[in-house]
Amino acid sequence: MKVITLTHIKGGVTKTTTTVNIAYALALLGYKTLVIDADPQSNCTFTLTGRIDEEKQDTLYEALIPEHPKPITDLIKPTTQENLFVVESSMWLYTAEIDLAHKSARELLLRKAMRGVKGFDFVLIDTSPSLGLMTLNAWVASHGLIVPISLTTYGMLGIRILEYSLAKERRNLELDLPVLGVVGTLDDHTKNSTRMRQVISDHFGELVFTTVLPRNIKVEEANNKSISLFEFAPDSTGAKAYLSLVKELLIRCGLQEPE
């Protein structure tokens, strides 16, 4: 079972959209996939289920905050897509910074809650654009990270802080926290997108996925309707790009041979 967190401290990089569509693509290819929504905004939950409830019950909140937390296995729910499951978020997770502040080993809570999770090929964790305790819990629970970076003028904003924070936590917690890959998003085929792609490649080198995710209205429309992009617009440039990205990911995880 491979646990991967999608992370960035900057919003607007399509982190949640990328999480959801990687998950859909993996499920379509036959990989049993679990999405854990660790972002209090709960956008991943809405995209996969069509709802956001201001409730704590049966959400990730119950695995982390209460005095007697529930195991993640009690919170897993199926989606309408075969092979795809979700642990829903709750806006109550916004209180996590305060509620967890005095707990011992608070950065390990998600990893402990996941101990009984079995039978999945992939677990994808969506995080908020922050460096708070929820994001740290997701990092610690992961085997590796994917960093989406928008191919826009301010695309690299926050990367230095993210890298500094990762290096610090690697030392403090004695964890590898490897970056499995960096993916360029919101490509609009302009000179600026091309320039930013080069900037990212110069900075991250071989970590950058060959696949670039386009700015594609079909992706947004599918998210808004809580429908799989691969069902809604299977021939769209967005769907083709996400399938290509997942094939690269599978190669990096040792599950598929390069073509």
Per-residue pLDDT reduced to its tens digit, 33-87: 999 999 999 999 999 998 877 888 899 999 998 888 899 999 999 999 999 999 9
What is the tally of structural domains in the chain? Answer: 1
Contact assessment for residue 234 and residue 14, using Cβ atoms and an 8 Å cutoff? no
3-state SS, residue 229: helix
- 151 domain-assigned: yes
Cα Rg of the chain, angstroms? 17
pLDDT of residue 33: 98
- 259 domain-assigned: no
Name every residue whose Cβ is closer than 8 Å to that of residue 55 and which is 6 or more positions away in sequence.
90, 92
Residues of the domain holding 16: 2-252
- 195 domain-assigned: yes
259 pLDDT band (50/70/90 cuts)? low
Per-residue pLDDT reduced to its tens digit, 135-177: 999 999 999 999 999 998 888 888 999 999 999 989 988 888 8
- How much is the pTM? 0.94
Nearest one of 29, 15, 20, 6 to 222, comparing CA atoms: 20
- 234 domain-assigned: yes
Name every residue whose Cβ is closer than 8 Å to that of residue 161 and which is 6 or more positions away in sequence.
9, 131
CATH of the domain at 217: 3.40.50.300
pLDDT of residue 155: 82
Per-residue pLDDT reduced to its tens digit, 101-127: 778 788 899 999 999 999 999 999 999
Question: What does the alpha-carbon distance between residue 122 and residue 159 come to, in Å, rounded to a whole number?
Answer: 26
pLDDT of residue 258: 62
pLDDT of residue 257: 55
pLDDT of residue 135: 93
131 pLDDT band (50/70/90 cuts)? confident
- 136 domain-assigned: yes
Per-residue pLDDT reduced to its tens digit, 88-99: 999 999 988 888
Per-residue pLDDT reduced to its tens digit, 222-239: 888 888 899 989 999 999
- 168 domain-assigned: yes
Kindly state the tokens that stand for 169.
């936590």
- 98 domain-assigned: yes
Nearest one of 215, 48, 91, 90 to 148, comparing CA atoms: 215
- 113 domain-assigned: yes
